[in-house]
Structure formats: structure tokens, C-alpha cells
């Protein structure tokens, strides 16, 4: 797998809770239809908040997914995928449950 960030993994602590996150490249990730819909809905919500005059009806799934491709992490403990939109003043990270994504193996592609 190719890391999409300058590091391969990072430990995050919040109180006693510690999480190990591993950078992952979107080319190595396949979302289920439900996972893709989650990302699309979240992207439209972010865009509606930041650009209220934008007509979101015509946005394709590809365009909405692109918003959350700045940084991707696999959370080791839960198996979740964190897809992050790194915007100028804030970073939004969307957790995708483990059952709604998978790591592609060599030779696999998404459809």
C-alpha cells in the first residue's frame, strides 16, 4: 500500500483511549454502496454549509467522494476507515464502519 500522507501510522490519545491510525491510499480502498452513499451525503452536507448557494443536485458520486480524499486512515482497533477533507480552516474526518469498506488486494479493482 502507498501511504497518502507523510507518515505511515500515528497514535492518537483522548483521555485513556488510544487509537492507532495507519495512512492508506484511496487506490487501495473499496467502499460498499452504503459506504459510498455515506461519503456522498457527508460531502453534500459540508458543501451546503460552506457554499449555500451551490446547487448540489447535479453533483456526481465521483465529485462528492473527491472531497474526502485528502487523507485516509485505517483505525486498527475498530477497523474503521477515516476519510478526511482538509479544508483551509478545518479538517472534517468521516468514519466509515469496517463493514462498509475493504482493502483491495493485488489485481482487484472496484466497479
Cα of first residue to Cα of last residue in the chain, in angstroms, is 20
In 6-90, beta strands by DSSP E: 9-14, 17-23, 29-31, 71-75, 81-86
Which pLDDT score is estimated for 108? 55
pLDDT recorded at residue 106 = 65
Tens of pLDDT, residues 10-64: 776 767 787 889 999 999 999 999 999 999 999 999 989 888 888 888 888 888 8
What pLDDT shows up at residue 19? 81
Amino acid at each position: 500500500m502507498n501511504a497518502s500522507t507523510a507518515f505511515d501510522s500515528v497514535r492518537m490519545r483522548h483521555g485513556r483511549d488510544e487509537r492507532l491510525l495507519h495512512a492508506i491510499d484511496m487506490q487501495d480502498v473499496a467502499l460498499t454502496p452504503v459506504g459510498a452513499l455515506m461519503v456522498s451525503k457527508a460531502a453534500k452536507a459540508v458543501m451546503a454549509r460552506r457554499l449555500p448557494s451551490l446547487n448540489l443536485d447535479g453533483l456526481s458520486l465521483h465529485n462528492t467522494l473527491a472531497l474526502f480524499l485528502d487523507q485516509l486512515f485505517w483505525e486498527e482497533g475498530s477497523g474503521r476507515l477515516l476519510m478526511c477533507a482538509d479544508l483551509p480552516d478545518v479538517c472534517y474526518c468521516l468514519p466509515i464502519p469496517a463493514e462498509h469498506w475493504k482493502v483491495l488486494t493485488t489485481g482487484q479493482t472496484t466497479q
